[in-house]
Structure 1
Amino acid sequence: MAKRSTEPQFDGQAGSLGPEERARSWRRLAEEHFDVVVIGGGVVGTGAALDAATRGLRVALVEARDLAAGTSSRSSKLFHGGLRYLEQFEFGLVREALRERELMLTRLAPHLVKPVSFLYPLMHRLWERPYTAAGLFLYDSLGGARSVPGQKHLSRSGALRLFPALRHDSLIGGIRYYDAQADDARHTLTVARTAAHYGAVVRVSTQVVGFLREADRISGVRIRDVETGEEQDVTCDVVVNCTGVWTDEMQRMAGARGRFRVRASKGVHIVVARDRIAADSGLILRTEKSVLFVIPWRNHWIIGTTDTDWTYDLAHPSATRADIDYILDHVNSVLTTPLTHDDIEGVYAGLRPLLAGESDESSKLSREHAVARPAPGMVAIAGGKYTTYRVMAADAIDAAAGDLRGRIAPSITDKVPLLGADGYHALVNQVDRLASQHGLHPYRVRHLLDRYGSLVHQVLALAADRPDLLEPLPGAADYLKVEVAYGATHEGALHLDDVMTRRTRISIEYPHRGLEAADAVARLMADVLGWDEKQVEREVEIYAERVAAERDSQTKPDDQAADEVRSAATETRPLIAEPVS
């Protein structure tokens, strides 16, 4: 029988998720009884694990694939209130999201979340400027926003100086406003590591394949290590289902009838080189359905998104030729030099877990979230938006309190900085000294600080005995070799795809989609994970097959054809079981 641990086990390596911790977590899952087991390693699941751990609860999080492998690595990478929701009169949602944006920028994750400006082009005289200004005044005021500048009104010439790539006849003026952005996968990973730092067991490649019961209540889960095939039971007081677009499948597996239904809406983004659009700001465009963003992303632009129903493989949503043409057509309608398919460096598609409603149009479904208790011992949460993950997580654990023994403390995650936040600002002022100390250019150190914050010392320590790790990564020179090594030693990466797609963004930031860096990355990971030559070749082969399938799917005319091509590629984790339908 599993024993009830008496004290949380804090990790001395600042939330390390490396190979030793992975082996230890498997033993803990078998031996201990947990207050809460969270299913799903997206931002809401990791947020729920952090919320529970910082309330003093014993919590385990299991994820079948990789942290942020689904929706949480495929968003628009914005922390924003959702300007368009003001027109839908969802003032509460916008206020809540803007408050979260402010917390991230100032207290919780200033190393990961940064201000970003957008130009709102005006196209109609007389009414549009005062109408938009009123909305942006609310946007600047709701949620206590203080750390980004307010709106600034621009004439046509002023707007064109900010965004020279715009056609002169595409606007009569503009308004500049600010939001915030982050690397969503890196942020989710950091939430997970912070949860581990505060005692949570966090384990990837660990799939729930069944549920345990005592009489009419759920009392735990049956898990499978999809790397080895081993299975075991994990007991707990309550299971929290944070599986996003898989929510309905997970509830069916548990034999529970959900109170809400989740609808998957596909959002596609393209990535182009920064020099393809001459601009000093992002851009927001109104479309017939929603809005389209042109978002600065280091040396690139991210342009999207689409908003269409998806009814195929939930693990691997596919962009079609029609999706890409939709984005190009809309952005080219305002650009002096149109973008072509040849300009595209990367493409990614993600699924929003929207709450199904009365409207047939996914773009009109609410981004509010819902929490339900589909069965005794089980809580489910779905809907919402990335920016409000912390509120969603707190609501999920509040709902789980009814299945826990005794009273639980209130949520305190609004006061808990993510790993790397403490000391970040001081290190920014010490960039030149750090650069000189490690023989790096200052821009390299700034790059590391904006990815790891004060954990940068932990990253650079790996190169103490291996100075070659401070060299640029072959085929992806924006990254250092040490970042790949650190992904395997501390960040839980188990496969080549984990590093290429989520620990870094090589898969969408280079026209070769990472193929020219794949062998070098695999060999750096092999040093940590003990891969032999056959395994290195296998990892590279699977990754190349994935890239080829994605490229092929992006030439197909519709979702069905694209899905047939993409789903035929070899699964990175082949022991993943198909969900119960």
Structure 2
Amino acid sequence: MSTSGTSSRLTPTTRQESLDALRASTDEPVDVLVVGGGVTGAGIALDAVTRGLTTAIVEAQDWSSGTSSRSSKLVHGGLRYLQMLDFSLVHEALTERDLLITKLAPHLVRPVSFLYPLEHRVWERGYVGAGVALYDTLASIAPGKRALPLHKHVTRKGMARLFPDLRHDAAIGAVRYWDGSVDDARLVTTLIRTAASYGAHAASRTQLVELTKDASGRVDGAVLADLETGDRFPVKARNVINATGVWTEETESLAGTEGGLRVLASKGVHIVVPRERIKGKVGLILQTEKSVLFVIPWSRYWVIGTTDTPWEQELQHPVATSADIEYVLERANSVLADPITRDDIIGTWAGLRPLLQPGTKEGTSSAKVSREHTVASPTPGLTVIAGGKLTTYRVMAQDAVDFALGKGAKARPSITTNVPLLGATGLEVQQNWGRRHAATYGWTPALVDHLLHRYGALLSDIVEMCEADPGMAAPLAHAPAYLRAEIAYAVSHEGVLHLEDIMLHRTRLNYEVADRGIAALDEISRIAADGLGWDEDTRLAEVAAYTARAEAEAAAEQDPDDATAERTRLAADDVAPLAELTAGGTGGGHKPGSPTDSRAAAGPAGT
């Protein structure tokens, strides 16, 4: 696989070229086939290709469409793990956090500070202060210069200045500490594009439907389904790595063995409230009886969450119920001087955490096992990684590729600590040009900051579009936080195949505005149609499909429980439905997301 002149663009054409290359693998197998296009799979693809391995990655839906676009959007060390005395895990996560902020993705990952309110004057201030001091210490011993400020103790007066809407009697003071925030979906897209720039083949809406084996019983490839055409074809790979998160057991079952990891799904829900509705300059972190609740300042709004409840429905479309929303509101209002209501909410999202269950199935070899993730092999040729969190995706990727390569890993060590993501190199140059761009196109400082956060040094690509067509520099009429150029760029560079890809993952309009972006659909769909060559019937069908999805999600929020909400959500059809699977080459498989016997027997996930 040559990487000379390789483009970072993801388009329908590059997708087809990747599928063609995979078809050709029956003559010359790829070294690594990654299954799953979330942050872990994307990280694995980048790790593998930068080691000099021929690499391909496939995703059954859009990039980051599962857990990796539905997180709390934080890059953090895991303050709660200090309570469990898991110092090594916290140190690892803090090291990765600082590496992202300072080197790998300083445009995507930015510092954000939080107040940890204190209710007791003496013992709690000392207890929490000591814990946060240890958090800072573990960050300080990470390689390189400190990325974030040290924590500070804040008086009640200081709290009132930093967060005026914090109820006066909610705390006697606070500890202010720092972590990072990230647009999770953009991180994944950038990882995929970076991997593609080094020669990785990347194909979304491409589903693994069967694992194949050679005469010795080793997994030697797969059968893939192109969900855009319905075509199925075989591929060959020296190593297949399963990074499918909550779909881990479903993918493992295709090997026709009983081995593998046990993963259960837990639902987390977030609500979105306009920034002006709550007066505050920093975030809050609150300990509840069931979970940690964050009130996170983000762009033009606040993100508030999360919940932690068992999810026993299909895996593709988790939804927020009325009960979920009321729970988040109640916990947030316990400390807010001016309580928020459902009328203040402009959006929600629900995601599924892949909870790694203790131990592995019989006959499974495992490598690195931590409280967060495990790498294992249920059968030769197939590597499985599960658990973990967004912050440590790079370590997880390194562990997975090391395990797949076995003894060969020493000859091809990971180098991703030294591989900045697209947009990182040259960031300061574009920051320095920001004022000139603003003056040229009439952009506000906030809009320039928005563009730098999303694209980093790749802002020059957006500017080139605007130079070629000044109309691209204008904001969308019904979603003015975004430029027309950003929609065109999503189509020309970021792998968009359907309108929902833009609304859910290239922008955040699905939950950033009260109508889920429906008012902006006409303008956005016309820009997409120009770039993707849609005729009018196709454009209208895409608009109808997204509208039906948005309306079904909104209706599900009124339902009281998961089962009812799921039925409401599934009334809207998928633009590219998943295919049936073939377990162990024997036929008669099941669809990812349908309950398996092992999942049903395991019972609900713990909180």
Once the two structures are superposed, residues 224-260 of structure 1 have per-residue CA deviations (whole angstroms, 9 ceiling, x without a partner) of 1101111211111010000000000000122133342
Counterpart for residue 602 of structure 2: none
TM superposition shift of 1:438: 4.6
1:42 maps to 2:38? yes
Do the aligned partners of 1:424 and 1:454 also contact (CA within 8 Å) in 2? yes
TM superposition shift of 1:474: 2.1
For 1:574, the aligned partner's letter is P
Once the two structures are superposed, residues 416-442 of structure 1 have per-residue CA deviations (whole angstroms, 9 ceiling, x without a partner) of 000000010222122112333455444
Counterpart for residue 52 of structure 1: 48
Counterpart for residue 399 of structure 1: 403
Counterpart for residue 371 of structure 1: 375
1:29 maps to 2:22? yes
| Correspondence 1:335-484 to 2 at 5 A | 335-357=336-358, 367-402=371-406, 408-438=411-441, 440-484=443-487
Once the two structures are superposed, residues 300-324 of structure 1 have per-residue CA deviations (whole angstroms, 9 ceiling, x without a partner) of 0000000011011111001111111
Alpha-carbon distance between aligned partners in 2 of 1:122 and 1:389, rounded to the nearest angstrom: 32
Alpha-carbon distance between aligned partners in 2 of 1:241 and 1:11, rounded to the nearest angstrom: 29
Do the aligned partners of 1:25 and 1:203 also contact (CA within 8 Å) in 2? yes
Counterpart for residue 153 of structure 2: 153
Alpha-carbon distance between aligned partners in 2 of 1:575 and 1:123, rounded to the nearest angstrom: 50
1:305 maps to 2:306? yes
For 1:129, the aligned partner's letter is R
Instruction: Name which of structure 1's ranges 435-444 and 569-578 shifts more when overlaid on structure 2.
Output: 435-444
Once the two structures are superposed, residues 270-327 of structure 1 have per-residue CA deviations (whole angstroms, 9 ceiling, x without a partner) of 0000011100100011101221000011010000000011011111001111111110
3-state SS of 2:293 partner: strand
TM superposition shift of 1:92: 1.4
| Correspondence 1:61-460 to 2 at 5 A | 61-144=57-140, 146-215=146-215, 216-357=217-358, 367-402=371-406, 408-438=411-441, 440-460=443-463
TM superposition shift of 1:350: 0.3
Alpha-carbon distance between aligned partners in 2 of 1:403 and 1:512, rounded to the nearest angstrom: 54
Alpha-carbon distance between aligned partners in 1 of 2:164 and 2:370, rounded to the nearest angstrom: 35
| Correspondence 1:494-509 to 2 at 5 A | 494-509=497-512
Do the aligned partners of 1:355 and 1:366 also contact (CA within 8 Å) in 2? no
Do the aligned partners of 1:294 and 1:303 also contact (CA within 8 Å) in 2? yes
TM superposition shift of 1:383: 0.4
Do the aligned partners of 1:10 and 1:197 also contact (CA within 8 Å) in 2? no
Alpha-carbon distance between aligned partners in 1 of 2:246 and 2:211, rounded to the nearest angstrom: 19
TM superposition shift of 1:201: 0.4
3-state SS of 2:515 partner: coil
Change (3 A) 1:455 1:327: same
3-state SS of 2:468 partner: coil
Counterpart for residue 569 of structure 2: 566
Change (3 A) 1:403 1:62: farther
3-state SS of 1:57 partner: coil
Alpha-carbon distance between aligned partners in 1 of 2:154 and 2:479, rounded to the nearest angstrom: 38
For 1:272, the aligned partner's letter is V
Do the aligned partners of 1:241 and 1:379 also contact (CA within 8 Å) in 2? yes
Alpha-carbon distance between aligned partners in 2 of 1:239 and 1:143, rounded to the nearest angstrom: 35
Instruction: Name which of structure 1's ranges 143-152 and 497-506 shifts more when overlaid on structure 2.
Output: 143-152
Alpha-carbon distance between aligned partners in 2 of 1:61 and 1:44, rounded to the nearest angstrom: 11
TM superposition shift of 1:204: 0.4
Instruction: Name which of structure 1's ranges 387-396 and 19-28 shifts more when overlaid on structure 2.
Output: 19-28
TM superposition shift of 1:176: 0.8
Do the aligned partners of 2:58 and 2:206 also contact (CA within 8 Å) in 1? yes
For 1:534, the aligned partner's letter is D
3-state SS of 1:492 partner: coil
Root-mean-square deviation (Å): 1.7
Counterpart for residue 550 of structure 1: 553
Counterpart for residue 8 of structure 1: 2
TM superposition shift of 1:189: 0.6
TM superposition shift of 1:8: 3.1
With the length of structure 2 as denominator, give the TM-score of the two structures.
0.91
With the length of structure 1 as denominator, give the TM-score of the two structures.
0.95
Alpha-carbon distance between aligned partners in 1 of 2:229 and 2:574, rounded to the nearest angstrom: 15
Alpha-carbon distance between aligned partners in 1 of 2:445 and 2:501, rounded to the nearest angstrom: 27
Instruction: Name which of structure 1's ranges 314-323 and 452-461 shifts more when overlaid on structure 2.
Output: 452-461
Do the aligned partners of 2:284 and 2:294 also contact (CA within 8 Å) in 1? yes
TM superposition shift of 1:492: 0.2
Change (3 A) 1:454 1:502: same
For 1:34, the aligned partner's letter is V
Alpha-carbon distance between aligned partners in 2 of 1:466 and 1:11, rounded to the nearest angstrom: 26
Alpha-carbon distance between aligned partners in 2 of 1:19 and 1:290, rounded to the nearest angstrom: 41
3-state SS of 1:356 partner: strand
| Correspondence 1:502-517 to 2 at 5 A | 502-517=505-520
TM superposition shift of 1:573: 1.1
For 1:72, the aligned partner's letter is S
Do the aligned partners of 2:430 and 2:460 also contact (CA within 8 Å) in 1? no
Alpha-carbon distance between aligned partners in 2 of 1:439 and 1:28, rounded to the nearest angstrom: 44
Counterpart for residue 3 of structure 1: none
Once the two structures are superposed, residues 176-231 of structure 1 have per-residue CA deviations (whole angstroms, 9 ceiling, x without a partner) of 11100010000111011111111100110111111121020111111111011112
For 1:349, the aligned partner's letter is A
3-state SS of 1:117 partner: strand
Instruction: Name which of structure 1's ranges 219-228 and 44-53 shifts more when overlaid on structure 2.
Output: 219-228
For 1:384, the aligned partner's letter is G
TM superposition shift of 1:82: 1.1
Do the aligned partners of 2:60 and 2:578 also contact (CA within 8 Å) in 1? no
For 1:91, the aligned partner's letter is F
Alpha-carbon distance between aligned partners in 1 of 2:70 and 2:15, rounded to the nearest angstrom: 26
Counterpart for residue 583 of structure 2: none
Instruction: Name which of structure 1's ranges 238-247 and 215-224 shifts more when overlaid on structure 2.
Output: 215-224
Counterpart for residue 13 of structure 2: 20
TM superposition shift of 1:155: 1.1
Counterpart for residue 489 of structure 2: 486
Q: Percent identity?
A: 52
**Unmatched 5+ residue regions in structure 1?**
1-6, 359-364
TM superposition shift of 1:576: 4.0
Alpha-carbon distance between aligned partners in 1 of 2:383 and 2:304, rounded to the nearest angstrom: 36
Do the aligned partners of 1:55 and 1:408 also contact (CA within 8 Å) in 2? no
Alpha-carbon distance between aligned partners in 1 of 2:2 and 2:246, rounded to the nearest angstrom: 31
3-state SS of 2:154 partner: strand
3-state SS of 1:338 partner: coil
TM superposition shift of 1:340: 0.4
Once the two structures are superposed, residues 80-110 of structure 1 have per-residue CA deviations (whole angstroms, 9 ceiling, x without a partner) of 0111111122211111100000000000000
Once the two structures are superposed, residues 415-471 of structure 1 have per-residue CA deviations (whole angstroms, 9 ceiling, x without a partner) of 100000001022212211233345544433322111011111122222333211111
For 1:485, the aligned partner's letter is A
